Amino acid sequence: MKLGTYTFQPEKAQGFDFHVLRVKPETGIRLEPVPDMHSNIAVFADNIAVRNHPDWISQSALGPAKMGNNNYNIYWNVVCATQPDHRAEQLSYMQELDQHSPGVWLNSQYFADHGHCTCPRCIELWRKSGLGWLEWRRKEISAYMEQIRERVNKELVLCIQPDPVSSYERYGVDFDDFAKYADAFNVVMFSKNYATPWYWEMLTRGFKKLLKKPFYISLYVFGPGDNPKDVPTAAEILTVSARCARAGADGFLFLTDNASQIQEFQKAAVANVELRNRLKTYGGQPVQELLDRVSIWEKLV
């Protein structure tokens, strides 16, 4: 059971096995890599790239992959996944990050969603391929993962959306193809509350059945600019962690803007002795390992 922090600021809270820094989040803003923090980048979701090159945006019959297009769950602007200049620049960027940090964690390294991308280049590439539409999309994404693997020598972790059933149709993502290139997966299970842990546990069981590499689950603790009233409680986060641990997750990342918000979560988790005792009965070794880690936090926070 490995635990990591996942932050927008280059700050490290104590009591974790590793730290992942959002070096380039979907806003497209770039931070300097940090030698002892893994570098996380959103590849095709990139507001700055789309601002600089509006014609690069991913297209579909339901409109472009643009913030505000409510046909999709898109909260930023997404570059077409076959855009050659963006692909090449991102490959070089990943190589540079690999040299200056312990590894590269990717987000948004696939098509924006179902029906993307229908730009003239994609339509031409698809027609020339002789493949069916979904198989062509898969081939485009998997071939890019192979190129990425050639550039990243250290740890490479591939994010997947919390959809074990339709990722192929929606994003062009084939889990078995990804497993050839990834050291691990990161299943992003962000939510502003985890009041019903049963659903997250079910998704975890689905991924455990399908994924041929270890997988982390990323949980939402406190995002940039959040109101403390609108974020999940420490009790919810601890409970959903235990439920997903018993269903087979290999580790967890906790997303915050900065280190102090992680420390607040640690303090609240440590203080809830009644919940920690109750969770001991939730299912064997993985849950116990998680609770042991929380016990170590007692001395740190």
- Piece in contact with Zn ion (CB under 5 A), picked from 96-104, 109-117, 126-134, 260-268: 109-117
In the complex, the smallest distance separating the C-beta of residue 166 from Zn ion, rounded to whole angstroms, is: 20
**49 forms part of the interface with Zn ion (CB under 5 A):** no
Applying CB under 5 A, which of residues 122, 152, 159, 290 lies at the interface with Zn ion?
122
**159 forms part of the interface with Zn ion (CB under 5 A):** no
Q: Among residues 23 and 80, whose Cβ is nearest to Zn ion? A: 80
Query: Which residues neighbour 249 within 8 Å (Cβ) at sequence distance 6 or greater?
Result: 187, 204, 208, 215, 216, 217, 286
Separation CA 101–CA 120 (nearest Å): 37
- Within 199-238, the residues that bind Zn ion by CB under 5 A are none
- Within 77-106, the residues that bind Zn ion by CB under 5 A are 80
Q: Among residues 78 and 157, whose Cβ is nearest to Zn ion? A: 78
- Piece in contact with Zn ion (CB under 5 A), picked from 10-18, 43-51, 70-78, 114-122: 114-122
Q: Give the number of residues in contact with Zn ion, rule: CB under 5 A.
A: 4
Closest CA to 123 of 70, 61, 69, 174: 61
Closest CA to 242 of 186, 290, 298: 290
Are β-strands 155-160 and 2-7 bridged in parallel, bridged antiparallel, or unpaired? Answer: unpaired
**119 forms part of the interface with Zn ion (CB under 5 A):** yes
| 39 DSSP β-pair partners | 21, 104
User: Degrees (nearest 5) of the Cα angle 19, 41, 55?
Assistant: 165
Helix (H) or strand (E) holding 145: helix 133-151
- Piece in contact with Zn ion (CB under 5 A), picked from 4-12, 64-72, 121-129, 152-160: 121-129
Query: Which residues neighbour 111 within 8 Å (Cβ) at sequence distance 6 or greater?
Result: 44, 58, 81, 117, 137, 141, 170, 171, 172
Q: Among residues 44 and 175, whose Cβ is nearest to Zn ion? A: 44
In the complex, the smallest distance separating the C-beta of residue 125 from Zn ion, rounded to whole angstroms, is: 8
**112 forms part of the interface with Zn ion (CB under 5 A):** no
Q: Exposure of 166 by Cβ count < 10 A (0-12 exposed, 13-18 middle, 19+ buried)?
A: exposed
Q: Among residues 37 and 80, whose Cβ is nearest to Zn ion? A: 80
- Piece in contact with Zn ion (CB under 5 A), picked from 1-9, 110-118, 159-167, 288-296: 110-118
Give the count of beta carbons closer than 10 Å to the beta carbon of residue 244. 28
**117 forms part of the interface with Zn ion (CB under 5 A):** yes
**Cα of 115 vs its chain's centroid, Å:** 22
| 127 DSSP β-pair partners | none
In the complex, the smallest distance separating the C-beta of residue 118 from Zn ion, rounded to whole angstroms, is: 7
Interface pattern 259-278 for Zn ion (x via CB under 5 A): --------------------
In the complex, the smallest distance separating the C-beta of residue 123 from Zn ion, rounded to whole angstroms, is: 8
Separation CA 253–CA 6 (nearest Å): 6
Q: Footprint of Zn ion on this chain (CB under 5 A)? A: 80, 117, 119, 122
